[in-house]
Structure 1
Amino acid sequence: MAIRLSHLALRLASGAFILNSGVGKLNLDAEHAGQLQKLALNAFPQLADLEAEKFGKLLSYSEVGLGASLLTPFLPSRLVGLALTAFAGSMVYLYLKTPGMTEADGIRPTQQGTALAKDIWLLAIGLALLLDGKKRKKVSE
């Protein structure tokens, strides 16, 4: 199964971005991993049970895996779109739940929230890959 040409730019851009982010986190020290975990706790309090270094490793491995999946041409776009939608959806949820990230309206980003608000684009890409099914030919009777 080949990548549809219309999906190529979506998969390359998001895959390279996420892969680079994950590779950058592979050697996180405990302090930086703890900062990321503290941010994540705003939306996902269950993560408090993990050690900061383990959280950092899991996050980096997840991003590397997702980024590589998006860049792998033989994986179906709907499958990687589902994974990207789940990942980006959790990032958007994190953005919406973290105090100080949004203006008083709860949607528009503050200066501090802009870095997380950009994940809405990843969510849109994931949904486009997930929902863009092949057109089926009608069978004439």
Structure 2
Amino acid sequence: MGMRLRDVPTRLATGAYILHSGITKLKAGPELAAGLHASAAGAYPVLKDIPPQKFVRALAVTEIAVGSLLLAPFIPTAVAAVVLTGFSSGLVGMYLRTPALRKPGSIWPSQAGTAISKDSWMLGIGLGMLIGAAERRR
């Protein structure tokens, strides 16, 4: 089973967004790399030992792979949904683990968290595609 016509808009929009983000990160300078690394390592301490430039390169390659997979029409939606859900879960986890990204005592984003709060939409899209794929199997 490949991709249904109804899956095209969400896969196209989400895939293009993630692919562009990854391509942009390939050009990240030392300051941006340090900032992205510090944010990620603050939420996931296991990342602290990875040098910032290496971390951002790995993140960029991951985003390019996820975005490309979503855009590839021959990849079944169930596979694309699992990858998108896993990827966006990590980003939502970072949002939830970083208090400065949320208003005090709330799940709603602070001004600093607005940009990353969009990752919750990607998680919703991934889960929606998973549910759609499961319904098709029944």
SS in 2 for 1:132: helix
State the aligned residue count.
Answer: 136
Structure 2 counterpart of 1:59: 59
1:135 Cα deviation from its structure 2 partner: 5.2
Structure 2 CA distance for aligned equivalents of residues 59 and 77 of structure 1: 23
1:41 Cα deviation from its structure 2 partner: 1.2
Higher share in helix? 2
Matched, 1:101 2:101: yes
Question: What one-letter code is carried by the residue in structure 1 that aligns with 2:91?
Answer: M
Structure 1 CA distance for aligned equivalents of residues 80 and 35 of structure 2: 28
Structure 2 CA distance for aligned equivalents of residues 128 and 121 of structure 1: 10
- 8 Å CA contact 2:43–2:97 kept in 1: the answer is yes
Structure 2 CA distance for aligned equivalents of residues 129 and 93 of structure 1: 20
Structure 2 CA distance for aligned equivalents of residues 60 and 19 of structure 1: 9
Question: What one-letter code is carried by the residue in structure 1 that aligns with 2:46?
Answer: Q
Q: Percent identity?
A: 40
- 8 Å CA contact 2:2–2:77 kept in 1: the answer is no
The equivalences for 1:43-122 within 5 A come to 43-122=43-122
SS in 2 for 1:95: helix
Structure 2 length as normaliser, TM-score?
0.93
Question: What one-letter code is carried by the residue in structure 2 that aligns with 1:6?
Answer: R
Query: Which has the higher mean CA deviation after the structures are superposed, 57-66 or 105-114?
Result: 105-114
Instruction: Give 5+ residue unaligned stretches, structure 1.
Output: 137-141
Structure 1 counterpart of 2:4: 4
Report runs of 4+ in structure 1 exceeding 4 Å deviation: none
RMSD value over aligned CA atoms?
1.2
Instruction: Give 5+ residue unaligned stretches, structure 2.
Output: none
- 8 Å CA contact 1:96–1:106 kept in 2: the answer is no
- 8 Å CA contact 1:19–1:67 kept in 2: the answer is yes
Structure 1 counterpart of 2:13: 13
Structure 2 counterpart of 1:33: 33
Structure 1 length as normaliser, TM-score?
0.91
SS in 1 for 2:94: helix
Structure 2 CA distance for aligned equivalents of residues 55 and 106 of structure 1: 29
